[in-house]
Chains A and B, each alone.
Chain A
């Protein structure tokens, strides 16, 4: 029996609307500056460049409590917020934290000089992952337990379960 309030490590991905308009290399100096200026709530450590990996993790900003990345998995570019550290509170609190952090990062990125006017995120589509197969395997049981919470958090959105059983538990929330 999955208790939503025991679920941790919530990830959020918000997709880029016009991926061809940007050069992922520009994310490298931007993320270095974020470290230098402590732009995020998390303690930031380093930048990892995986542009050479097709449909890979792109460019990552490695933090202690969370990673941010311009992630290219499945060939779909987006801002991925990967919460690594556990958080107190309820599932909703954690979802709210992750979504808030991701949303803020998209706004910051859109405003960074190399991306300004070019990078635009589609906030009508969000993917929610749980990056822990033990706490939340991609099963019907997890879906039953978490769907109401996610639906309530994204009112008016169509919430759908994605992926195959080996994948992380993942849902999309799309504005109707």
Chain B
């Protein structure tokens, strides 16, 4: 869509790391091949998902206007996935490992949200950033610009290792056992694109927490949740992790199981790799509803699961990356920009300033670090949204007060770490100028919400609309609110998939619909008493569904009752448990009623949406994409190599073209071997020998008409060393390579139809 798209590549040529540049070129070529109809929809969908390019509501080309569902007449009828139109806007998810951001990255996000999106960058509940309403044709430019500041979108979606999260105050936390940042960073980059993490049936989420009791990293709702621990071994204090596996939210929430009380630091990466292998090998692939690792752990039992993982660990080939990062752990810590200082209000306070608001802000948004004289400041973002101008203001503040040590949080906020305490008043004033000093961090006003029906294809009700409404109402009561209520948390999901993490909130809500009086009415299921602390220690209880428009009243009633009837020091969770589910429901019974349409039509629309409510806009989720096996990807890569060979030939490089065509054949053969035996040799001679034995001599590769011709072409190309004597022979080799790849596809299809796969 952007006229500048062709120019970013040369413009950033010296600023994009070569590995990333090569990956992006691959992605661009895949887009080109898709446009030529050479990649299947489902394969391309998973390809773009693995680059973080996600579908968005209405991308099937249909939208209800409240009365009827109409076709959206996008210019092109081409698709970018099953039932997903090419021109329909999509979402770009951007991975931010452990939430770490520096000033150039913040500025880049500002530029991107302004130029390609709707002017907003959205912080997610997994410390990612999302841009909405993005055209797929713009994604390579976006990715290239991100790569120029060291950010990758690789594996931000799809059946892959998603963004690795960690406590946003890791390293500065007063309660931490040790700083988990280097470990989170190490595993994030170790698993990125790792061959053992490419064949999952579903996504895989990792988090690192610095302690057991606080909430920050929510370890127990993760597939792989590591909590910092130490142990004395042979008289030395050793670092390690209490490791939890198989947790998850979604329609079947499950708390993670304890895998090991202490995995030593040098084992955390290889154990992660071994878990990935077991998950890839034994996890469900066909039914995506039961494909998360939690189902495998339940099916096998944690003891058997662990046995298999440890068995796998024993046979893993040694990788120096497992421990290489440990050398820099002691020196890797962030540094402050300024010396420590103590806040002396009278001295530090600027003239004509706003002391009362500063005090309120300091009470909620400022955290005294373990390092005396320093504080971490939270910037509370409404629904996780931040504008380009604000991102630049945060970048400026991060240069002025700290060494650009900014992190995103799972509560959809940003934190500035290492603020010298005497700078707090000046920082507050600067943030205030950018509307970034709301004194709501970690309070009931800081409502968390997933995108819901605003942009998500699976959204049932408007989680953001509701969150915005609750935020407005609660903020209006800010000055008079009881501290017991102020400290509660509200989290909202647009559907049962739980992206808003409603299970681990005092008051959680997720969107549902109910048919009433011949209409569909937006509702939210009320979930009470989830535990945010203890790393998501307990999940809340579903009480019943209340019409969307009555949720604010529901919040008022529940919090009012808590305030009136709690015993001294009783937590909200304890209160909910004490009065019981039946009483909670009875409290809401009258609110569950829906007035007739004639009496109050507003109940039949959703928050922030004027249209009569419908669930007709629900699409098919891409949360984890299709289950695409590694061979699907490998064969697409082969096709791309043939395509690139053609480009080389067109530009007069016939020798290079021939070599690339031969390489594509070699990779096709290797992909078939991997599919049949799970592993395949890397050496060309061995690949050819194995392929000959397993596919040619057995006639498994034979075409019904030309029999072994395509394989013979491959053997000839190998004998010639992938060389061509002239442009004509290079051209011929490219054609042979194309046919060989087609034959690989046919062979794969035949093997899939007659299951003969042998797992090594």
- Considering only residues 126-172 of chain A, those with a C-beta below 8 Å from chain B are 131-135, 166, 168
A168 CA to B8 CA in the complex, in Å? 17
**B interface size (C-beta, 8 A):** 49
Q: How far is the CB of B712 from chain A (nearest CB, A)?
A: 49
A67 CA to B89 CA in the complex, in Å? 12
The yes or no answer to A21 lying at the interface (CB within 8 A) is no
A-B contact pairs, 12 of them (CB 8 A): A6-B3, A28-B609, A32-B66, A35-B63, A36-B65, A43-B72, A46-B57, A47-B609, A84-B1, A131-B115, A134-B8, A135-B7
Residues of B within 8 A of A104 (CB): none
**Which of B1, B392, B465: most chain A Cβ within 10 A?**
B1
Contact present for A46 and B58 (CB under 8 Å):
yes
The yes or no answer to A111 lying at the interface (CB within 8 A) is no
Contact present for B389 and A55 (CB under 8 Å):
yes
Q: How far is the CB of B624 from chain A (nearest CB, A)?
A: 24
Q: Which of A28, A71, A134 is the one whose CB lies under 8 Å from B610?
A: A28
Q: How far is the CB of B157 from chain A (nearest CB, A)?
A: 21
Residues of B within 8 A of A9 (CB): 2-3, 115
Contact present for B385 and A8 (CB under 8 Å):
no
Contact present for B385 and A52 (CB under 8 Å):
yes
The yes or no answer to A1 lying at the interface (CB within 8 A) is no
A132 CA to B107 CA in the complex, in Å? 15
A83 CA to B287 CA in the complex, in Å? 43
Chain B minimum-CB-distance residue to A46: B58
Beyond A45-B63, A49-B454, A132-B2, 16 additional contacts (C-beta under 8 Å) are: A8-B3, A32-B609, A43-B72, A49-B465, A50-B119, A50-B120, A52-B382, A52-B472, A53-B382, A56-B387, A57-B120, A64-B74, A86-B3, A131-B114, A134-B4, A168-B115
**With A45-B58, A57-B119, A64-B75 in contact, do A32 and B611 touch (Cβ < 8 Å)?**
yes
Residues of A within 8 A of B133 (CB): 46, 48, 62, 67
The yes or no answer to A100 lying at the interface (CB within 8 A) is no
Contact present for A73 and B120 (CB under 8 Å):
no
The yes or no answer to B457 lying at the interface (CB within 8 A) is no
Contact present for A67 and B11 (CB under 8 Å):
no
Residues of B within 8 A of A112 (CB): none
**Which residues of A line the B interface, CB within 8 A?**
6, 8-9, 28-29, 32, 35-36, 43, 45-57, 60, 62, 64, 67, 71, 73-74, 84-86, 131-135, 166, 168
Residues of B within 8 A of A55 (CB): 387, 389, 435
Q: Which 10 A-B pairs rank lowest in CB-CB distance, beginning with the nearest?
A: A29-B610, A54-B435, A8-B3, A134-B4, A57-B119, A36-B65, A86-B3, A52-B382, A52-B468, A49-B608
- Considering only residues 581-619 of chain B, those with a C-beta below 8 Å from chain A are 608-611
The yes or no answer to B531 lying at the interface (CB within 8 A) is no
Residues of B within 8 A of A52 (CB): 382-383, 385, 468, 471-472
Chain B minimum-CB-distance residue to A85: B1
A146 CA to B500 CA in the complex, in Å? 46
The yes or no answer to B118 lying at the interface (CB within 8 A) is yes
A72 CA to B8 CA in the complex, in Å? 30
A46 CA to B468 CA in the complex, in Å? 19
The yes or no answer to B73 lying at the interface (CB within 8 A) is yes
A133 CA to B252 CA in the complex, in Å? 46
Residues of B within 8 A of A6 (CB): 3
**With A28-B608, A86-B3, A135-B4 in contact, do A43 and B120 touch (Cβ < 8 Å)?**
no
Residues of A within 8 A of B4 (CB): 8, 132, 134-135
A71 CA to B454 CA in the complex, in Å? 18
Contact present for A43 and B74 (CB under 8 Å):
yes
Residues of A within 8 A of B132 (CB): 48
Q: How far is the CB of B612 from chain A (nearest CB, A)?
A: 10
A47 CA to B385 CA in the complex, in Å? 16
Residues of A within 8 A of B70 (CB): 36
Chain A minimum-CB-distance residue to B4: A134
Chain B minimum-CB-distance residue to A133: B111
A9 CA to B87 CA in the complex, in Å? 17
Q: How far is the CB of A117 from chain B (nearest CB, A)?
A: 21
- Considering only residues 74-91 of chain B, those with a C-beta below 8 Å from chain A are 74-75, 87-89
A51 CA to B87 CA in the complex, in Å? 27
